[in-house]
Structure 1
């Protein structure tokens, strides 16, 4: 006699692939936010400003950061950890987070230098990373989200 598997009525934290990926992104964003304040991981920490293009601090010597930039990473990371507790939350975090990073890419491409709206410093390396994050997060959210729904 075959028994039919019943869906679980309790949610398992990071229990599906999309949840695991959201959790990983959350952890990485938290780590990046913290690293942005650590001398050695961030060069010229003494030039770290709250916001603006004049912040001279560089994460890993490559990515321009500010206190606001680091706080955004910390908040985005915390959101990933929180939303990894559900399938829908994880899927939405990845897809909409990817959209946000796409918008940040556009921001970085068009708002630079002394532009008054340039409050979160970004450089060319940041732009490339934000573009890659946008594509990766959206694709992972859609692909892993679809697979999870079909099996649910």
Structure 2
């Protein structure tokens, strides 16, 4: 692996970024289950737009939505242990959060199709997560694992 792509811990920068993002996702998911940090905690439903709970009084949450964040954080921590896994987590996870952003834009806040649930601030969160994860996954991994050299496939003249 490229020396410049490694941090002080001996891990590639893309792995450290994946671990940090995964930790944030895990933390957000767990905080969604904490009364006080989540306002309207007694109004939380398993899924759907009728959940009255909001993380930090801003992001509409449900049990399902909190579980999505917890599971994606745990998957990210597991995948970040390897260079390829970190790349996959950031790139695929970023794409999935962008899809979630599009889903939020396509559904109205009080629509029956809003089963996750999402609201305006959640849409902005998903957009930031999606673009941020994609950018980190693609930009931090350019030289990692190649020592800065391009490959030399045998089928090229």
TM over 0.5: yes
1:94 and 1:86 map into 2 onto residues whose CA distance is 12
TM-score scaled by structure 2? 0.85
1:88 and 1:142 map into 2 onto residues whose CA distance is 12
Equivalent position of 1:151 in the other structure: 147
Give the superposition deviation at 1:47.
Answer: 0.4
Match 1:130 to one of 122, 126, 133:
126
Equivalent position of 1:15 in the other structure: 11
Equivalent position of 2:154 in the other structure: none
Helix, strand or coil at the partner of 1:20 = helix
Give the superposition deviation at 1:114.
Answer: 4.2
1:111 and 1:147 map into 2 onto residues whose CA distance is 40
Relative to total residues, which structure has the larger helix share, 1 or 2?
Answer: 1
Match 2:138 to one of 138, 142, 150:
142
Which ranges of structure 1 fall in alignment gaps of 5 or more residues?
8-12
Count of residues paired in the alignment = 142
Give the superposition deviation at 1:113.
Answer: 3.5
Q: Deviations over 1:35-79 (max 9, x none)?
A: 001011100100000000010000001100000000000000001
1:31 and 2:2 correspond = no
Give the superposition deviation at 1:139.
Answer: 0.6
1:26 and 1:127 map into 2 onto residues whose CA distance is 19
Q: How does 1:58-137 map to 2 (within 5 A)?
A: 58-137=54-133
Give the superposition deviation at 1:14.
Answer: 7.3
TM-score scaled by structure 1? 0.88
Which ranges of structure 2 fall in alignment gaps of 5 or more residues?
4-8, 149-157
CA contact (8 A) 2:109 2:119 kept: no
- Of the structure 1 ranges 142-151 and 41-50, higher mean CA displacement relative to structure 2 is found in 142-151
